[in-house]
A and B are shown apart, each in its own frame.
Chain A
Amino acid sequence: MDFVRYIGGESIGILSRIGRLFTFLVYAIYFSITPPFKIDRILRQIRFIGAQSTLVVLLIGTFTGMVISLQGYHTLSRLGSEAFLGPMVALSIMKEMAPVLTGLMVTARAGSALTAEIGIMRITNQIDAIEMMGLNPFRYLIAPNMIAGFISLPLLTGMFDAIGILGGYLVGVKIFGLEYATFFGEINTYVWVEHLMEGIYKSMSFGIIISWVSCYMGYYTGSSGFGAEGVSKSTTSAVVLAAIMILIWDYFMTAFLF
């Protein structure tokens, strides 16, 4: 009987947490699309989530393009199809690698920091103080991060696309001696704007996922532990959950939308 009660209790707990997570998303989206918009804070968060992630995204993008080109050349040359290296690099990067790796990098760099910042605000009563002024914390804390994530991720993904293809070009053309015209000519033939947009749409949704999960975990800091320990647990949970959700959501977007 105790076992049944335990299972029942745990199930209700999990369901209520899932409900709270999605209710949070609904509120976050509502306050992100209704005025007044906190422009100062949105710009600050775009700088934090987007601009300050640029270097790491460019670095990852370069080496991802290079390694895809390296692996792809060896495989394609066995089939005598190395002319298709350009499209292979471009399509892999645009459709999957750029949005997913950018999402994971931003989760690790900015998502964890967002959770920690909001978590500390929670445990030091700063969020309560906002509420006590008759103001809505979603408007001041959550919505700017949602908007910033939605705007920043596609921009970072676009940069990843460009630098990734350049990395692929360096390996394919400069190291393996493929013709410049072949590399980019085949890209021109086989890669369309739709392929680029596929990754951009994905990255927009990943931007929302990162901000949503990171803000949620910070906002409810204290439910899994108190003080610094609570913030630490929230931060870890945010990174793990956001990364898992990005990969799962990526599969479903690819399977059903593209």
Chain B
Amino acid sequence: MIELNNIHKSFSGHEVLKGVSFKVEKGEILVLIGMSGYGKSVILKHVVGLLKPDKGTVKVDGLEVNSLKKNALADLRSRIGFLFQGGALFESMTVYDNVAFPLREKARLDRTVIEKKVLNVIDQVGLSGAENKYPSQLSGGMQKRAALARELVWEPEIMIFDEPTTGLDPIIGHAILNLIEEMHKRMHFTGIIITHELSRVFKIVNKVAMLHEGIIIETGSPEEMLSSKNSLVRQFLSGDTEGPISFR
């Protein structure tokens, strides 16, 4: 379970998060929605301890992330997969080596077992044949899929997806969300996802939380959000330029 309670965070005097609270139950996927640049990725980095809140607490499976010692934090992180916005693939390694990296370094499995697992997950993300290519030789969509493969190969209990479909064409974007859905059905991970592919993602998540001006203004199931009375939620979901949310 992931639980954020009253998270505040400022950067250079600018308060980005002003008391963010929400909860994701074990096995659930929550989608975090809201305008770009409002701190959604900042929230994700708090969940995994890459950022420390100025105030408030983050708990993952009952462990308070901010107060964990280095080793305990490393143990916790080794149960969490994090798909970064840009993929964060190691540019000096091939796709195969990128995907094999966490298994080689953490699982200490036999070479043949690693090879089997890696080739299997590479096939699942549709990158068969690109094993020996370097990230710079791949398209944006292929890089995202390779990064997803690197996270899914060691079957984490918690998955964090930071805009897995941004910059991709609709077909590849949907394919990636389908893959996430498929993996969730098989692995039952607890997840948080940030994406603007709302129509598709609403079909795979259990819960939606909307961030606006530093706070979560509403949470609920996708159905509840779609019938929300909150004008901010309604405007965001409909994509209207007229309304209480100003984009200037």
Contacts and interface: CB of A to CB of B under 8 A. Distances in A.
Q: Do A and B come from one complex?
A: yes
Interface of A: 120-121, 124-126, 128-129, 131-136
Given A132-B48, A133-B106, A135-B106, A125 B84 contact: yes
Nearest to A38: B105
A133 B88 CA distance: 12
B78 A129 contact: no
B91 A129 contact: no
Contacts of A131: 50, 77
B90 A133 contact: no
Contact of B82 (A121, A126, A129, A135): A129
Contacts of A125: 84-86, 88
Interface in B57-96: 74-78, 80-82, 84-86, 88-91
A107 B225 CA distance: 57
28 contacts: A120-B91, A124-B86, A124-B88, A124-B91, A125-B84, A125-B85, A125-B86, A126-B88, A126-B91, A128-B82, A128-B84, A129-B82, A129-B84, A131-B50, A131-B77, A132-B48, A132-B77, A132-B80, A132-B81, A133-B78, A133-B101, A133-B102, A134-B74, A134-B75, A134-B76, A134-B77, A134-B78, A136-B74
Contacts of A129: 82, 84, 88, 90
For the complex of A and B, the 7 pairs showing the least CB-CB separation, nearest first, are: A134-B78, A125-B88, A129-B88, A134-B74, A132-B82, A125-B84, A134-B77
B201 to A, nearest CB: 22
A134 B106 contact: yes
B191 to A, nearest CB: 15
A143 to B, nearest CB: 14
A182 B11 CA distance: 69
Contacts of B74: 134-136
Given A125-B85, A133-B78, 14 more contacts: A124-B86, A124-B88, A126-B91, A128-B50, A128-B82, A128-B88, A131-B50, A132-B80, A133-B77, A133-B105, A134-B76, A134-B106, A135-B74, A135-B105
B90 A126 contact: yes
